[in-house]
Chain A
Amino acid sequence: MANLLELQNVSKVYSKGLIKPEQTTALQPFSLNMGEDDPTILTIAGESGSGKTTLAMLLLGFIKPTTGQIIYRGRDISTLRGAEKLEFRREVQAVFQDPFAVFNPFYTVDHLLTVPIKRFKLAKSKTEAQDKIDEALTAVGLRPEDVIGRFPHQLSGGQRQRINVARALLLKPRLLIADEPVSMVDASLRASILETLRNLQRDHGVSIIYITHDLTTAYHIANSIVVLYKGAVMEAGDVETVITSPSHPYTQLLIDSIPWPDLEQRWGKDKIFTRENDGAENGCPFYGRCAKASDSCKTLSPMFRIEKYQAASCYLYKDRPVVDLDKLSETLPV
């Protein structure tokens, strides 16, 4: 099976300051494959600072990895030039958190949609362009007459976010990177945007990397999940398994803290724990907050395979087989 996307030991270290540079490891060496033939929705989850946006920026080619390579359909994206680069720009689309950010307040919505049509020469005539726009807007559940000709401030956050998705759809991408697309949208509007994304995958064959700190939405939309903490993979697997029976203490804490809208399912059964991070700087990133840590946790744990589709980087599972970092994808169902 050909790979749509392949990450080989990709890591990112940011350096700040010229004289005495301060280094932040935003992403530890990370490998991942996504097949070309089975479009899927993969969630990258984690709290703020865990490296999610860094990963998105790397995938889009906006920043360069410190180590490793990102291969898109057989080509290292850092080597793409000219027509190939334009092709990549069309096939890999992004939707970001703030639905306002990408809108120029002085242009109507049409502008946002016609620019990519012109740039990528997607239509031969004005009417063809208009048809494409109408089709894309309808696909995300908007009535063209409700939004065409309007300025961004005349639309709700949910409408703006759906226009972003429509814009992505217009370009018929193969891969969509959605970085916290519903975090700033009212809960009542989230459902329809998430459904739109799910339909993109199901009906239009688009693979989606859904980045979020919200495990409830991840549970509903994704097939598989990778949980990051401080740039390292804590747990990976089938979304159903990971969320209903998390194995890593960090994932357990996250799931225990979800405010489910369910009176029978109370949050916070486990007390929140902290300890001195004595000598564990290079160990498990969760050491300082883990009630179950032992001395071995002062070195980073490998990934252990717990189920066919579940693996955790935690010594509690040291009796299980080790998953090599470059085989992480084998624990992710499509």
Chain B
Amino acid sequence: MNSIVANAKKLNSSPAKSNKVDRSAFPILDVKNLEVTYFTDAGRAVALDDVSFSLKAGEKLGIVGESGSGKSTLALAMMRMIKSPGRIESGKVIVGGDDLIELSPEEMRQARLQKISYIPQGAMNSLNPVIRIGAQMVDAVRAHMPDESKSEVYDRCINSLRSVDLPASVFKMHPHELSGGMKQRVCIAIGILLQPQVIIADEPTSALDVVTQRQVMETIDKVQKQINAAVILIGHDMGLMAQFVDKVAVMYAGRLVEVCTVREMFTDPKHPYSKALINCLPNLKNKGVFQGIPGLAPSLLRLPGGCAFNPRCESVMDICKTQRPEVATLDGGRVVTCHKFTGEA
């Protein structure tokens, strides 16, 4: 291990690095104070602002928010795949004790798929159409394990296809021979080839029908159990979150405004934005009631002063217009970023 990593390990306070302690009780993933900015012609936009959360092995976290709120930016930052004009300004992404931000580019390349893997938004439509599925999988393994024998690599790919409920014959097929749901499963199979500790799926089912969506989510659930990974599901469908995740993080204008268990979110949302999100959901009991959230998501370049949500907030107070609310941890460990709760922390 190189010295930067060793150094990073010393600095980080995550208990997971100790070999003597039972790892399962501690976070496998610890994101701390992550900040990302994009430099545009119109100015500097803070797309991720002081984002922190942690996740244990086997846990599922949902990240919800309107489009443009920074969900994909968060995933890309965790993968260290932010491209210019964007930049990670500060923060840590600790996976199994190592801070990814401190890794050399080569080490980070190795960490992708092995420690943390990312199924990008629209991945199923970006499989290379002229290359067989098998070759695309083999390439991914080869890049990480140049020493593995041909038959080991093949077995690894076939096992991965099997665990997402695809027949081995898919190995020899081209993407156009597969349905949407099958293509999405191929992407998951690639994501789990090297049994990562963290899997991030960015809106994996938004283009799929409900039945296929359910099958894909059942597949993710199954492979997660097999490899005991932590899963992050990015999306804007609260229904999917209710059915799938353990914890929910709500993103608004680049900040996590609330992080809590899915039960807390649905029975007792604290942040006014979370409340509004929950209230605008259609269910079987509120037929014909249409409750949208008034106003529009702000542009990152022209964020309202104070709390970014204040122009749309039902509970807005004077302080909200001038002072930025800090992250407050409430009883039970849930986190809210709102002046209504800063006193309680």
CA distance A197 to B166 in the complex (A): 42
B263 located at the interface, meaning its Cβ lies under 8 Å from any Cβ of chain A in the complex: yes
Contact check: which of B209, B263, B291, B296 meets A263 at CB < 8 Å? B263
Complex CA distance for A189 and B236, rounded to whole angstroms: 11
Complex CA gap A258/B284 in Å reads: 11
Interface string of A210-231 (1 = CB under 8 A from B): 0001111101110000000000
Do A260 and B283 form a contact, CB below 8 Å, given A47-B210, A186-B66, A272-B214? yes
Given contacts A194-B290, A258-B239, A261-B266, contact A217 B282 (CB under 8 A): yes
CB atoms of B290 and A195 under 8 A apart: yes
Contact A187 B237, beta carbon cutoff 8 Å: yes
> B146: shortest Cβ distance to chain A, in Å?
39
**A134 close to B (CB within 8 Å):** no
| B297 at the A interface (CB under 8 A) | yes
Minimal Cβ-Cβ distance residue in B for A243: B284
Report the bound CA distance from A158 to B294 in whole Å.
12
Q: Is B215 an interface residue (CB 8 A)?
A: yes
Q: Is the CB of A261 within 8 A of B287?
A: no
Q: How far is the CB of B247 from chain A (nearest CB, A)?
A: 13
Question: A324 CA to B124 CA in the complex, in Å?
Answer: 42
Give B276's nearest chain A residue, CB to CB. A188
**Which residues of the other chain, A, contact B238 by a CB distance below 8 angstroms?**
187, 261
Let me know if A262 is at the binding interface, CB within 8 A: yes
> A residues within 8 A CB of B281?
187, 261
Q: Do B211 and A47 touch (CB < 8 A)?
A: yes
Query: CB-nearest residue of chain B relative to A267?
Result: B243
Using known A-B contacts A219-B284, A219-B287, A263-B262, determine if residue A157 contacts B67 with beta carbons closer than 8 Å.
Answer: yes
Answer yes or no: A244 CB below 8 A from chain B CBs: yes
Main SS at interface, chain A: helix
Contacts of B280 in A (CB 8 A): 187-188, 190-191
Which of chain B's residues have a CB closer than 8 A to the CB of A157?
67
In the complex formed, the residue of B with least CB distance to A266 is B243
Any A CB within 8 A of the CB of B223: no
Contact A220 B288 (CB under 8 A): yes
A220 engages B67 (CB within 8 Å): no
**CB atoms of A257 and B282 under 8 A apart:** no
Q: Do B290 and A188 touch across chains, with their CB atoms under 8 A apart?
A: no
B213 near A189 with CB under 8 A, answer no
Q: How far is the CA of A188 from the CA of B236 in the complex (A)?
A: 8
Among B67, B240, B276, which residue has the most Cβ atoms of chain A within 10 A? B67
In the complex, which of the residues B67, B210, B212, B283 contacts A186, with contact meaning CB atoms closer than 8 Å? B67
Over the window 285-301 of chain B, the binary record of Cβ atoms lying under 8 Å from chain A Cβ atoms (1 yes, 0 no) is 00111111100110000
Q: How far is the CA of A47 from the CA of B281 in the complex (A)?
A: 22
Q: Which residues of A are found within 8 Å of B266, using beta-carbon distances?
A: 261-263
Closest to A154 in B: B299
For the complex formed, measure the closest distance between the CB of B69 and the CB atoms of chain A, giving whole angstroms. 9
Question: Residues of A contacting B267 with CB < 8 Å?
Answer: 263
Among B237, B262, B263, B290, the most chain A Cβ lie within 10 Å of the Cβ of: B290
A268 near B210 (CB under 8 angstroms)?
Answer: no
Closest to B278 in A: A261
Query: 1/0 per position for A41-69, CB-CB distance to B under 8 A?
Result: 00000011000000000000000000000
Once the chains are docked, how many angstroms separate the CA of A119 from the CA of B214? 46
- Partner among B212, B277, B288, B292 whose Cβ is within 8 Å of the Cβ of A192: B292
* Of A198, A244, A263, the contact of B242 (CB 8 Å cutoff): A263
Bound-state CA distance A221–B277 (Å) is 19
Interface positions of B from 194 to 216, Cβ below 8 Å from A: 209-215
CB neighbours of B211 from chain A (8 A): 47, 253-254, 257, 272
Contact A257 B210 (CB under 8 A): yes
A160 to B224, CA, bound (A): 39
B209 and A261 form a contact (CB under 8 A): no
- 8 A Cβ contacts from B209-244 to A: 209-215, 218, 236-244
Looking across the interface, which residue of chain A has its beta carbon closest to that of B218? A268
Cβ-defined contact, B277 with A188, below 8 A:
yes
**Closest residue of chain A to B288, judged by CB?**
A220
Roughly how many angstroms separate A220 CA and B215 CA in the complex, as a whole number?
25
Would you call B284 and A265 a contact (CB within 8 A)? yes
Q: Give the residues in chain B near A261, CB-CB below 8 Å.
A: 238-239, 241-242, 266, 278, 281-283
Contact B243 A259 (CB under 8 A): yes
- Give the contacting residue for A262; candidates B209, B213, B284; CB below 8 A: B284
Contact among B180, B210, B218, B290 with A254 in the assembled complex (CB-CB below 8 Å): B210
> B residues within 8 A CB of A272?
211, 214-215
Chain B's nearest CB lies how many Å from the CB of A109? Answer: 15
Q: A260-B242, A262-B239, A263-B266 provided; 11 other pairs, C-beta below 8 A?
A: A188-B66, A192-B290, A195-B290, A220-B287, A220-B290, A257-B213, A259-B237, A259-B244, A261-B281, A261-B282, A272-B211
Q: Give chain B's interface residues, CB within 8 Å of chain A.
A: 66-67, 180, 209-215, 218, 236-244, 262-263, 266-267, 276-278, 280-284, 287-293, 296-297
4 tightest A-B CB contacts, nearest first: A192-B292, A195-B290, A259-B239, A47-B209
Would you list 21 pairs from A and B whose C-beta atoms are within 8 A, ordered by A residue? Answer: A47-B210, A47-B212, A156-B296, A187-B281, A188-B236, A188-B276, A188-B292, A189-B292, A191-B282, A214-B210, A215-B210, A219-B287, A220-B289, A257-B211, A257-B213, A260-B284, A261-B241, A261-B242, A261-B283, A268-B218, A272-B211
